[in-house]
Structure formats: structure tokens, C-alpha cells
A and B are shown apart, each in its own frame.
Chain A
């Protein structure tokens, strides 16, 4: 327990000091969005990467958290910080609901992917139709630049919050890799019957994973609301969030602790590069997402993080060849 904590402390401190070095808002925004993507990706990774339950509808959890955060502060005047915690709870609830229904009836693979997508769409249509979500017009959070209201005059404040959230998510992934729960979750991914035979409660394990994943997604949703101060059904429950959540770990490396971080960095950099090249034409960055997804699946099915191992192996082979 001690060694990894020390090993993690150094990069965390370095990241925490980053705003001191980055004086431009552009780069700070870049860092914030990268960490936000990493949080969303890690949320998906806990369920899809370690648990093998690949959701196509993480927007259902993200959006529920986002709407919870927005509505609780707008309609119930709850402090936005408390809203973030509650958003995590609502996200967890949405996850538990979808999980309880789909796992109880044994949905796996394509069926699970489709049912999560359908839930996200149902939530989107509901949010688009009922009055209290502001329907298609969306919700606007009033600008109140004070730390007590989870709004910072400087971007560095948001940076600190998203860094903390992402650090927690990353620590969770590390815990998964080193705990009994994680071993059970991976066993479920690899072979449900064998896991059952060895005493693992398969349904409960999956349910915990989707609840945890939903909680993190909900927190990401509340962060989005505080950072952009606006929410509508398409942002909350649209396909883009669901796709981003799965794309980040797939690019970086599914079922690894650092994969979502690597994937988020790559995706954000690609996003910036593409909007710089195309002048922000609508749709083109998503075209790139799609192409990237296919290229990664074709060439690097284990993600960018496997590039390191591959290069090392190639180097060793070359060294062997010379010897």
C-alpha cells in the first residue's frame, strides 16, 4: 500500500503544480478537458474495461448526474458542492437501475450495449419533453463567481477540482487491480460460469461495478455543468457523451489504470489539432473520432498504452537478433 502511494504522489504533485507553469487559459482549458475526459473514460473503464460490460449509453449516467446537479441548485437552492456529491449518487442510482434490470435478465454483449443505448435515448426524450428540465431550451446556471458556489474566477480552481476527481477515479482503478472485488470483476469478464463456480456472486459484482461507474459518470456530469454553466438534453444524454466515454479507454488501453489518461490526452490533442486544421467545421472532429476508433481497433486493439510494451519487445527482439 505504501509504495504505490508514494509512486503516485510525485506525478500528482507535478500535475497539481501545472497551473503555475501554464499561464495561458488555452492550455489550462486543454488540461481541464483532458482530465474531464479521463474521468469519464475511467468511469466507463471500471465497468467496460475491468468488468467486460461494454456500455453504449454512459450518457444515461452522466446526464442524470448533470441534471441532478443543475436542478438541485436551481430549484432547491442546494449548494453546488453538495450537488456534486448528490450528482454522484444520482449517477450511481441510474447505473444501479440499468444494471439491476439488464443483469438480472442476463443481458450480455451486444444486447447489453443496445439496452444501455436505449436507456440513454429514453432519458433524452424525457428530458426533451418534460417542463422541469427546461426541455429543448436547456438550463442555464447563473454566474456567481465564488468558490463557495463551485464557480471559480480563475480556471485553475476548476483544474484543481477535476484533478482531484480524476485522481480518485484513477485510484479506484488501481484499487480494482489490487483488490478482491477487482479480481472478481475481472473473473466475471473472462468467464461468468467459472467465476460462479469459484464462489463469486456474478450479478452482484456487475451491479457494484455499474453503480460505481455510474457514480463517477454522475460526478463528471456535475463538473460539466459547473464548468460550462449550461445543459440541454443533447449534451446530457446525447450519443456523443456515450461514444466519448468508451472511446477514451479504447484508445488508451481498456482495462488498465492509466489507459483512460493516455486516451484522454490523445483524444483531446486530436480534437484541438482537428479544429485548428478544419477551422472548427461542425462534424469533422467526430469524423476523426470515428476514423480513430476504427484505426485503433485495426492496428492497436490493446490501445496506445500497449505501444510501450510492443516497442520494448521489438527492441529486445532486435537486440537478440544482433547477439
Chain B
């Protein structure tokens, strides 16, 4: 469904993404992990059309999409969320979600009604008529998810949708995301919360210094020496798997 090949991006003298290649199959949940500054958000931005790449190719549903604008991609079914939540601050939860609904629903009243259904899918039914300013971080994260879902995407890019949540909130979010996949949406997520990655993703890519250094099922990835060293530095490989067992460990 998504094929990223040899993508590179420099900001001034700084290389954000060196030579990244990955692919996401239809119907799966793939994850992109990596230490801070590895280039995950830039790569996401490139795929979703927010950042112009210097080179490489991004194909979505068989077609080259590099250089297309975000709103065009959204119409084709490729939608992202933001790590730092970007709500429509002056509007209610319902109105926020309805903006997403309007991508496929021309009628305003119908869009507002559909918004309620989408809110239900992410467990926000009770908050539907609250102003966004009244939401907690967890609420805002769900709203990001709901708005993106409302556009009826085929591929959803979730940028750190767990960041800033406490373990209980993460535990609630995991089944929500699984349910989205069950509904037929393919997912690519970047995530810091390893517990979530392990329980959600079927395949994991590890990005370090702008390159993909490992790929595979989560269990194999966390045991991969290169990965552990990328995160914790040389010689840290021995301690890594133990920390994973503690639950909610942050990579």
C-alpha cells in the first residue's frame, strides 16, 4: 500500500533523513521507531506531503505521490495526525471531527451527525459538545485520532499518538487503534512507547540517524543488538530486554 524508497532530506547542513526505505502492506499495523532526532517526524512529514523531500520515491496504492500536497493526499486516503496536537482550538469536539467528515460528506448537518458516530469509535461520546479548550492531553490525542478517522482514510499515519499519556490511558488507546485496523484501515505509527509498539505492530522499522537500520517483528527487533545500541549506546545490549518487562518502559 505504501512504498518509500531511498528518501532523503537535508535542512541546511543537517541531514534529517539520509536514505530511508520502507513499505507498509494493506491491512497491517507497521511501526516506525527510533531514538529522538532519528528523523521519524521528518519522514512522516514527507510521506504526508508536509515536507518536501530532496530525493527518493514514495508510492501510495501504486502511484507516485512525492510532491503532492497534503490535502490531495488526504483526499486519496492518506491522512496523518500530529505529535503535538493541532486542534481547531475555538471549536467544539463535534465541530472538530465534522471538519474531517466533510471531506467525504458534502452536507453540513450530515457531517455533524457523523461526527458523533466517529466520536463513539474513539470513546469520546460524552465529550462531544465540549469546547476543545476543556480537553485533557488524552482527550486531545483522541480528538486527533477521531478527526483523521472521520476522513475515512485507507492509510493512517499516527505520529506519537501515545506520547504524554499515562499507562492507564495508553492501555485504553491500544484497543482503539486495533479496532481501527479491524475496520479496514492500514496503519503506520511512530511511537516512543515500546509497550504499545510491541502489542500493536506486526512489523517494526527502526530509524537511526536518518537510515533504516533494522526491520522485523517486534520481538526480534527488541532483541536486535544494533537497535539496542542505537537507543542506549554501545554495550547496552545486555540490559535492554529486562527493562521491557517492566511495562510502560519508554525507549
Contacts and interface: CB of A to CB of B under 8 A. Distances in A.
Classify A-B as touching or not with yes or no (CB < 8 A). Answer: yes
Interface of A: 178-180, 182-184, 186-187, 189-191, 193-202
Contacts of B90: 189-190
B170 interface: no
Contacts of A183: 95, 98-99, 102, 108, 111
Given A180-B111, A191-B89, 5 more contacts: A179-B108, A186-B95, A191-B86, A193-B86, A198-B148
B87 A198 contact: no
B71 interface: yes
Greatest chain B CB density within 10 A among A182, A186, A187 is at A187
Interface string B85-104: 01111110001001110110
Interface string B62-92: 0000000111001100011110001111110
Interface of B: 48, 50, 69-71, 74-75, 79-82, 86-91, 95, 98-100, 102-103, 105-109, 111, 147-148, 150-151
Given A197-B70, A200-B71, A180 B88 contact: no
A197 B80 contact: yes
Given A198-B147, A199-B103, A190 B91 contact: yes
B50 A196 contact: yes
Greatest chain B CB density within 10 A among A179, A196, A202 is at A196
A190 B151 contact: no
A250 B86 CA distance: 26
A198 B91 contact: no
Contact of A186 (B82, B87, B88): B88
A201 B102 CA distance: 13
Contacts of B95: 183, 186
Greatest chain A CB density within 10 A among B69, B88, B100, B105 is at B88
Contact of A193 (B50, B75, B103): B50
A184 B91 contact: no
23 contacts: A178-B109, A179-B108, A180-B102, A180-B105, A186-B95, A189-B90, A191-B86, A191-B89, A193-B82, A193-B86, A194-B86, A196-B50, A196-B69, A196-B70, A196-B71, A197-B48, A197-B74, A197-B82, A197-B148, A198-B74, A199-B71, A199-B100, A199-B151
Contacts of B79: 197-199
B88 A194 contact: yes
Contacts of B69: 196, 201
A187 B50 contact: no
A87 B151 CA distance: 39
Given A183-B98, A195-B99, A199-B103, A190 B89 contact: yes
A25 to B, nearest CB: 43
